Structure 1
Amino acid sequence: MTATAERGLLLSPFKVGSLQLRNRVVMAPHSTHYADRVESDRLTAYYRARAEGGVGLIVHEPVIVHPSSLSRVGKIWGYARENAEAYRATTDAVHEAGAAIVCQIIHNGRQVDGHESQMPAWYPSEVQRGGTIEISHAMTVEEIAEVVEGFVETARICAAGGFDGVEVHAAHGYLLQGFLSPATNQRTDHYGGTVQNRTRIVLEIIRAIRAELGSEFVIGVRVTGDEVQPGGLNPEDCVEISALLAPEVDYLSVVSGSLASYDRIVPEMSFERGLNVRLAGRIRAAVAPVPVLVTGRIPDPETAERILIEEDADLIGLARALIVDPQWVAKVASGATEQIRPCVYANDCRDSIGGRRALVCMVNPDAGRERELVRIEPRAARRVLVIGAGPAGLEAALTASANGDQVTLLERSSKIGGQLNRASAPKSRRELGRLLRYYQQQLAASSIELRLGVEPDTAMLRSLDPTMIVLATGAVPVPPTNAVLSAWEVLGGATLDAKHVVLQDVAGGNGWPLFAAAELLADTGHEVTVVTAATALGTGIEAAALPPLMRRFKARGVRVEMHSRALPHPEGVVVVRNDTDEERIVPGAALVVESGRRSAGVAGAWDGLGVPVVAVGDVLAPRRLATALAEGRRAGAASFAKDGVA
């Protein structure tokens, strides 16, 4: 931790409009699905935890401004007047904790499929919604006026509910960016054509809110720095638009991407860190002294501090980092940055929202469950034995130790981490190594007794005399048939002599074990063909991770054959056969298979000891990392009754 990150600009007070913020850290807005129509107690607890953790400003998740913006359940109806009272619990909680709070207000535009709203998608012009047959409705001038009033009414309700201001969402392909962008605005009236005309609706909204609520009510706008869309807004266009908006607002929040480049909206771990910083810097140079907020894969306080020092932005927006660790700011302020639980940008959070489920975090099982967290009452320390130092076992051991238990952690291999070591092997997945390093630091700072290279037997277990056992021995690969190696072995460091490798998805998971092995093989000089029987690629990964994966495959020459299977041939070739029985021969190729995993088994030397045993993670059933961490944490925190888990 550098001295500048400890005591520098990041933690310095900063003024935004009428608001004096205690520091420059902003919780950036993101959907949670923790409330439907009306603000909820769950959402209040979620924001309270981040305010208590020390952030300067919270930007509440987007609330919709008009019935035509209803895209799905789990959205707060910002235009519903009952929210004026419902918001109070949240705004009061945030203010009591010392933070300010504004609310993002949005019209979803063409990202409405009509299922919930039973209306066509409103947009400046007729545009086809990607992946559907639906065409948006070109709004009339009267409908534009109706939406402008919807933004104003929503802002009124926010003010009545105790918010310090609003942030108007004019980015990411939603309605207002649809007006701003020449790629989607083909109007010939005074809302289309020139940049001044295309910006008109946003200025009308801002000015109407200002006239209604006055200069003390903060107004920000989320703008794009680059639409990354053919025919869309380029960085120069975005600077020009920002300069038109800046005199009317208290801050600008800079992002990038659109529906045509949706993978940039919530960039996953393979994207460069701080991908929007230079875009924000260009806008800041044009709009100063209006403050500029930047978001987008800012992983640590050192990066945040450098952005401020180099004057690319005035405020640092964090969303996923604060989902993972609500105490992020407090830990920076105390100099305990090594205690920050890292976001690895795996995007389980985005995946849950995209799947129309409540937000979950892979690395923080408690996200969204703040109301359920209870203080462990003082009790006699237990002797907890954790068998297996993979993610589930590490989480169980650290949680039990933090609760005052005497913990021994056994691991049969020579290092901790389990499957994290394999998962983080490809260059594009090395962010996962941050979580592994976090666990190493936490173990070193704890009182946990770690024993590596140990295969426990009954005598050892009896000598340890545990009062409870957490079994976290993980999964093992399904043995491959008719193949040289498994993907598991490749990710573990096994090498191949063959130049050509055919990698087959036998398990059918269509997920990261397959793709990570393909990338690792390509990165080490092999010519790789991925073969899958699936009809669509990447159904086992988060949707926004697929475009960057395909770009990496293209750059490395990785070939993908769907609707196909690979067959070994005795003459040293691999035959790839598709669903119509067409065959392609790959000479001199080695066949590697992703054969899947199975539980390592729950039976062992611990049977018959008369000690409560709880299985967690993949030994219970091979699943996702998020589930392993959640089960490990619950096991580490659990109180045990005479007959097992209470």
Structure 2
Amino acid sequence: MTLAPGTPSPDVFSPGKIGNVTLRNRIVKAATFEGRTPKGRITQELIDFHTEYARGGVGMSTVAYLATSPEGRTDKHCYHWGMDDGGMLRKLTDAVHAEGAAVSAQIGHAGAVANATSTGLRPLGPSRIAAPAGLSVTKACTEADIDRVVEDHVKAARGAAEAGFDAIEVHFGHNYLVSEFLSPKLNRRKDSYGGSLENRARLARRIGRAIRDAMGDRIAVTIKLNMDDGVPGGFWIEEAVQVAKWLEQDGSADALVMTVGSSLLNPIYLFKGEAPLAEFAATQPPVIQMGMKVVGPRMFKSYPYTDAYMLDDARQIRDAVSLPMMLLGGIVDRPSIDKAMDSGFEFVAMARGLLREPDLPLKMQADERRRSLCVHCNRCMATIYQGSRCVLREHVPAVPARG
């Protein structure tokens, strides 16, 4: 809940607790796809990526995106739980812990965001919907598919715990599979998983409850939930408030991370700022480049950037639940952090600012006036296929292109 009048807000550099895990401070490196798992292999480059943020002062770093299922990968270069990682995930968690930070694994199923041409597997969806990355159409989930997806999430949670992760972030946002089920625009089912909000939220609630039943307090569980898909007819804030209440009622989450946007239909809505259409198109195969000339300007829209731009919407969730919450979006300096803390958020999550300056937390701790150097050009989005990085950090080498 929002802090009562006169209640002091926590200092961002004080320890904070999520479930059974205590973080040394309240700054979390948000999940940003790293592009450092060629053909699904966990690499030393991925370990170094997260170790740098731990060394730079974050309380926890989030490894993205570790798919729950083979067809739930975004492409063939995405790791999925069940692959042999050769002990590298344990090496990653040990390396982050050695720097004093906690580490979380983002788990989820990509649904229609998956590239079937790359994975060789037909993607799943709540209904038959377009899966544009692979120029394909999803298979509408059967009851058996849904049961398997739920169990795959449980297996992923177990795998994360066994690899030494302190927490998992269960991905219910960005029009990945669970978010597609939540969306009245994408979910056209007529059974108990479609229609009413209660039905559309059934998969999310089943996954959350199944993980909790299987794991107890063995691993901290955060849930990333959309507040707004950013598309007409999509999931909206009033529904997000109710789903957040249900997740709290179910005891599924130790903390909530609210987000917005659709990787499927409106990706810049999440990031705000400039839309790097030309840079992103240049990374795609020729056939996709041709398509982007037609649909790109409609899909990649520019939105005005402001600091802490999700705060007003996230406050509506904050007022409705008592769970710890993490504010994401435009967290760039102490004023934006203090505004979040004063509004009752226990943690903040940073992404682009840390890509620009991995040691930003240490700099901010040393100088309260320090502001991120990120200019929100979003050109980092176009680097994910060769290793996500800030293009303004020219001294950071790119990861070799993936085949």
Tell me if TM exceeds 0.5.
Answer: yes
1:328 corresponds to: 360
Paired residue type of 2:326: L
2:279 corresponds to: none
Query: How far has the Cα of 1:369 moved from its partner?
Result: 6.9
Asked if the contact 1:348–1:360 (Cα under 8 Å) also holds between the matched residues in 2, the reply is no
1:344 corresponds to: 375
Do residues 253 (structure 1) and 257 (structure 2) align? yes
Paired residue type of 2:269: R
Query: How far has the Cα of 1:323 moved from its partner?
Result: 1.2
1:402 corresponds to: none
2:77 corresponds to: 74
Query: How far has the Cα of 1:78 moved from its partner?
Result: 2.6
Identity of counterpart residues, as a percentage? 28
Asked if the contact 2:113–2:132 (Cα under 8 Å) also holds between the matched residues in 1, the reply is no
SS in 2 for 1:287: coil
Change (3 A) 1:207 1:161: same
Query: How far has the Cα of 1:368 moved from its partner?
Result: 6.4
Asked if the contact 1:183–1:232 (Cα under 8 Å) also holds between the matched residues in 2, the reply is yes
Asked if the contact 2:117–2:135 (Cα under 8 Å) also holds between the matched residues in 1, the reply is no
Paired residue type of 1:280: A
Query: How far has the Cα of 1:148 moved from its partner?
Result: 1.3
2:298 corresponds to: none
TM alignment of 1:158-169, pairs within 5 A: 158-169=160-171
Query: How far has the Cα of 1:267 moved from its partner?
Result: 2.3
TM alignment of 1:59-98, pairs within 5 A: 59-80=62-83, 82-83=84-85, 85-98=87-100
1:279 corresponds to: 313
Whole-angstrom CA distance in 2 between matches of 1:149 and 1:103: 17
Query: How far has the Cα of 1:327 moved from its partner?
Result: 1.1
1:547 corresponds to: none
Query: How far has the Cα of 1:42 moved from its partner?
Result: 0.7
Change (3 A) 1:141 1:368: farther
Deviations 1:488-545 (A, max 9, x none): xxxxxxxxxxxxxxxxxxxxxxxxxxxxxxxxxxxxxxxxxxxxxxxxxxxxxxxxxx
Asked if the contact 1:42–1:369 (Cα under 8 Å) also holds between the matched residues in 2, the reply is no
Asked if the contact 1:84–1:157 (Cα under 8 Å) also holds between the matched residues in 2, the reply is no
Deviations 1:150-176 (A, max 9, x none): 111111111111001211101101101
Unpaired segments of 5 or more residues in structure 1? 1-6, 371-646
The one of 302, 319, 333 equivalent to 2:351 is: 319
Change (3 A) 1:165 1:44: same
2:387 corresponds to: 358
Whole-angstrom CA distance in 1 between matches of 2:171 and 2:184: 18
Do residues 292 (structure 1) and 296 (structure 2) align? no
Whole-angstrom CA distance in 2 between matches of 1:133 and 1:45: 34
Whole-angstrom CA distance in 2 between matches of 1:228 and 1:29: 20
Change (3 A) 1:230 1:68: same
- Highest relative contact order (Cα 8 Å, sep 6+), 1 or 2? 2
1:595 corresponds to: none
SS in 1 for 2:117: coil
Whole-angstrom CA distance in 2 between matches of 1:202 and 1:195: 11
The one of 163, 170, 173 equivalent to 2:172 is: 170
1:218 corresponds to: 220
TM alignment of 1:369-408, pairs within 5 A: none
The one of 47, 50, 67 equivalent to 1:47 is: 50
SS in 1 for 2:116: coil
Query: How far has the Cα of 1:310 moved from its partner?
Result: 2.7
Whole-angstrom CA distance in 2 between matches of 1:191 and 1:120: 21
Paired residue type of 2:352: R
2:206 corresponds to: 204
Asked if the contact 2:74–2:115 (Cα under 8 Å) also holds between the matched residues in 1, the reply is yes
Change (3 A) 1:131 1:44: closer
Aligned residues: 358
The one of 262, 272, 289 equivalent to 1:267 is: 272
Whole-angstrom CA distance in 2 between matches of 1:21 and 1:93: 16
SS in 2 for 1:344: coil
Query: How far has the Cα of 1:73 moved from its partner?
Result: 3.8
Whole-angstrom CA distance in 1 between matches of 2:212 and 2:397: 34
Whole-angstrom CA distance in 1 between matches of 2:146 and 2:397: 36
Asked if the contact 1:84–1:158 (Cα under 8 Å) also holds between the matched residues in 2, the reply is no
Segment of structure 1 superposing worse, 265-274 or 42-51: 265-274
Paired residue type of 1:44: I
SS in 2 for 1:231: coil
Query: How far has the Cα of 1:341 moved from its partner?
Result: 5.6
Paired residue type of 2:335: E
Do residues 27 (structure 1) and 58 (structure 2) align? no
Whole-angstrom CA distance in 1 between matches of 2:70 and 2:132: 22
TM alignment of 1:509-528, pairs within 5 A: none
SS in 2 for 1:359: coil
Query: How far has the Cα of 1:264 moved from its partner?
Result: 1.2
Whole-angstrom CA distance in 2 between matches of 1:8 and 1:325: 24
Paired residue type of 1:310: S
Query: How far has the Cα of 1:276 moved from its partner?
Result: 1.1
Unpaired segments of 5 or more residues in structure 2? 1-8, 275-303
Asked if the contact 2:73–2:79 (Cα under 8 Å) also holds between the matched residues in 1, the reply is no
If each structure's strand is expressed as a fraction of its own residues, which one has the higher value?
A: 1
Paired residue type of 2:261: G
Do residues 242 (structure 1) and 271 (structure 2) align? no
Deviations 1:537-574 (A, max 9, x none): xxxxxxxxxxxxxxxxxxxxxxxxxxxxxxxxxxxxxx
Asked if the contact 1:71–1:115 (Cα under 8 Å) also holds between the matched residues in 2, the reply is no
Rg comparison, structure with higher value: 1
